[in-house]
Chains A and B, each alone.
Chain A
Amino acid sequence: MEIYDFKAPDPGTRGLAMRVFGPNAQLVLAFLACLSDLSQEDFAKVANAWRQTDDRDRAEARARLHRAASDRERQQILAAASVARREALETANRRQWHDWSFWAAASDAAAAIAARDRIFRDCQTLISPMSVVMPWLPPAAGDARSGKDIAASYLPSAHALGQGA
């Protein structure tokens, strides 16, 4: 697992990630890094939780996130959702998993993480299916800890988060 540690003296990397994913880039990257650790059993749990969420609630949550965001923020939310979907899709394919609910859940969660602090209730709606296997999601609104620290406090494998950059 590899993730950028923003505490490392690498303002270029930090700037890049912030520009692409917005102010919550650190948490988005922590989330992306953890996706590839998930197993088929995890996919099933996420897919099941995603299907139990009401379609309309989910669509409404995403609509509200987009409505509340500026053009630039929308691009950052879409970028996070798109990259997470791709990462989840490829991880699922590597493990012969073809239920799209899993990567749809990853995409929703990444959009909400990128927009964290904005509309907390909507973020919870979008994050909750992934939080079944990533109990460190959703972080409390205003949680000042870094994404790496939040992840590391729950996931043993996330201790490796600081090895990258």
Chain B
Amino acid sequence: MIVEPDGRIRDANGPAASLFGYDRERLRDESVRTIVPDQPLPLFSVGPGPAKHDSRRFELVCQRGDASQFPAEISVVRIESGRGPTAVVTVRDMTEAQRAQFVLERSVQVLASEGRDRQLLFGHLVRAQEEERKRIAAGIHDDTIQLITAANMRLEQLRHRLREPAEVSILDKLEEAFQLSLTRLRQLIFDLRPSGLVVGGLAAALRLRLEQLRSETGIAYRLDDGLTSRVPPDTSVLIYRTAQEALTNVRMHARAMTVRVELADLCNGCLVRIDDDGAGYNPADVENRPGHLGLLLMRERPSLAGGWCRIESAPGAGTSVEFWVPVDPPATEQGSAW
């Protein structure tokens, strides 16, 4: 629209007339106050003078011919012509833009809220998982293993009554099966509730796990334990579970010859590094596929405790897992310096 210094609309193009719901003719000579009521719209920042262009932008509420209103961005460009100053006024209907912005803001709030909920849920699940593991391990220890041990003792009593070599042979096989069951159940208890963590600490528990890996797969290991600080039980379990996940991946996927595990004190926390010399993988391929909960768990567990985790690999270059977990409570929102 071209607007005279007195606020009279000299001309308006078709889209402007359509935006305000007027005919072009009807809009001509109308005051700009009709379409921008009750709000200041400075058309000129300086008074009449030497030829000068200036441009300003306002966010105002405009009114259509039917009295309905809409948010608008109005730019006013002052131009000098032979007939004196005039203003070119451009109006942009911001209804959709504002709605889009509202949706964006709302989405961010939802995302932020979902992120918090997700983290809370994840933390709850991890704790619930540990509780459930303890419960199952206790059940196996207090019930199943006791029953098998009792059955084994009865077999021993039975042995004294048997005379036939064929019967003794059957009994030997039965005892062997019971022993194997006990060994496997004890291993299961260790997996569910790594007693090594309580008895010998993190390094001892990891050494047992590595020894088991070596005996089952032939993968050699090196464990460098530089941890001197006391790690609280909950943090030990978190570190152990993360390392366990990494070692499970070594066993299942790496095709490695050796794995090296390092534990170190760092910045009032524990730094763990697990490197293998296996086949490696392309993270761009693997991480894009759904269902890699193991990688997700490895990353999320240390983050939950206020730490970080890096998992990197490349085809033919092995895999490196490095994570750090604070061993005392990290800063809280209140403790923030930001």
Which A residues are closer than 8 A to B by beta carbons?
Answer: 9-13, 15-16, 19-20, 22-23, 55-56, 59-60, 62-64, 66-75, 78, 81, 89-90, 93, 98-100, 103-104, 107, 118
B313 and A74 contacting across the interface, CB-CB below 8 Å: no
Bitwise, B92-121 to A at CB < 8 A (1) or not (0) is 000000001110110010001001000000
For residue A12, which residues in chain B have a CB less than 8 angstroms away from its CB?
100-102, 104-105
Tell me if A63 and B271 are in contact (CB < 8 A): yes
Q: Write 5 A-B pairs (CB below 8 A) sorted by A numbering.
A: A66-B307, A89-B283, A89-B284, A99-B314, A103-B283
Q: Which 9 A-B pairs have the closest CB atoms?
A: A70-B336, A63-B267, A12-B101, A100-B312, A12-B104, A93-B284, A98-B314, A70-B333, A63-B324
The DSSP consensus for interface residues of chain B is mixed
Check B266–A66 contact: CB distance below 8 A.
no
Give CA–CA (A17, B178) in the complex, Å: 62
What's the interface size class on B, roughly?
35 or more
Of the candidates A22, A59, A60, A69, the one having the most CB atoms from chain B within 10 angstroms of its own CB is A59
With contacts A15-B108, A66-B330, A100-B313 known, is A60 near B335, CB below 8 A?
Answer: no
Interface residue? B317 (CB, 8 A) = yes
Chain B CB within 10 A, most for which of A56, A71, A118: A71
Which A-chain residue is minimally distant from B320 (CB atoms)? A100
Nearest-CB residue, chain A, relative to B303: A78
Q: Is B266 within 8 A of A23, CB to CB?
A: no
Whether the Cβ atoms of A67 and B267 lie closer than 8 Å is yes
Q: Chain B residues with Cβ under 8 A from A75's Cβ?
A: 115
Please tell me if the beta carbons of B308 and A70 are within 8 angstroms of each other in the complex: no
